[in-house]
Amino acid sequence: MDQHTTVGDVGEQFLLDRFAARPPSTRLIVGPGDDCAVTQGTNVGQSLLLKTDCVISGVHFSPNEDLERVGSKALARAISDIAAMGGTPLEALITLVLPPSLTIAKLDALYRGIDAMAARFDVNIAGGETSSAPTPHRDAFFINIALTGSVSDGKYVTRSGGSPGDQLFVTGQLGGSIRGHHLDFIPRVNEGQWLAAQGTTAMMDLSDGLAKDLPRLAAMSRCSYRINLDSLPLTPDCTVEQALNDGEDYELLVALPPEIANSVATNWHTRFPSVPFTKIGELLRVNSPVATPLTGGYDHFHLSKKE
């Protein structure tokens, strides 16, 4: 790699790996690379979850989109990561980069979406910041959410806790999110908390597509994986390729020890009867010869991908 190598040359995962390692801290329990960071909380028996996420016009929503839906999505994305740790969302800080031409009516719509999602999950909007971009990018528009959450000490679920033999499940259906699901989804907070309490070993939310996110979870758990592509729970009229690659499903990818997987799945269908919970495969020892090769998913910096 030379001084002319660009982020487009190397892609998103390279950047995540390159900048994830940081000097250890006595307060930091789980650092970069997971759905949330985990640090020591101020309340006895509670750990603090930290998450930041953004949505950008032209990337995560179209410039003419209903901004109430955009506001809902902006906060829901961060809440979904709290859910993937088995946690409870708490306080949010909102940073807005706004085009000066944006009407107050549209800004009010954005906040109606944010406030509705906040009310649904008892999130407090604690503050934030506003700015605009310089010329020639005065029409730039994005919303960044910094969110805290809480989880009982030692009860959070990371991407790195899986083991060979763990059974892989996904909630909901996959593929076709651009039809509207990417704006209107409801984070799986209750489901994530319940799964954490059942003994889930590893979990993450699916935002970049199963083909991108499953290898991440497996790598963090120092495993490989095998999946049955025919078992993927497809959104109606979607293909397996879409389920693997479309992204923005905001469902949970879950690893369960084999000795409890069947009972958890049975109890799930009683507890959450309207939400599918589908076994799609298993974790294997690293470099297993029967592992399923997966490539694809969404990469923000890959020059051949959609912008």
Segments making up each domain of the chain, as ranges: 14-152, 167-285
Q: Is the peptide bond before 136 cis (omega within 30 degrees of 0)?
A: yes
Q: What is the pLDDT of residues 189-221, one digit of tens each?
A: 999 999 999 999 999 999 999 999 999 999 999
* Candidate from 5-14, 93-102, 190-199, 261-270 with smallest mean pLDDT: 5-14
Residue 226: count other Cβ atoms within 10 Å of its Cβ: 14
Cα–chain center distance at 142 = 18
Segment 69-80 mean pLDDT: 98
Cα–chain center distance at 6 = 25
Does CATH place domain 167-285 in 3.90.650.10?
A: yes
Residue 5: predicted pLDDT: 81
Q: Record the pTM.
A: 0.90
Residue 305: predicted pLDDT: 40
**Residue 296 pLDDT class (50, 70, 90 cuts):** confident
Q: What is the pLDDT of residues 167-194, one digit of tens each?
A: 999 999 999 999 999 999 999 999 999 9
Segment 42-64 mean pLDDT: 93
Average pLDDT of the residues of the chain: 92
- 14-152: CATH topology: 60s Ribosomal Protein L30; Chain: A; (3.30.1330)
Tokens for 24? 């250890």
Does pLDDT of 15 surpass 70? Answer: no
Segment 25-51 mean pLDDT: 89
Does pLDDT of 301 surpass 60? Answer: no
Residue 28: predicted pLDDT: 86
What are the two backbone dihedrals, phi and then psi, of residue 143, each rounded to the nearest 5 degrees?
-125, 125
For residue 145, the one-letter residue type is I
57: closest CA among 144, 134, 129? 144
**How many Å apart are CA 62 and CA 49, to the nearest integer?**
30
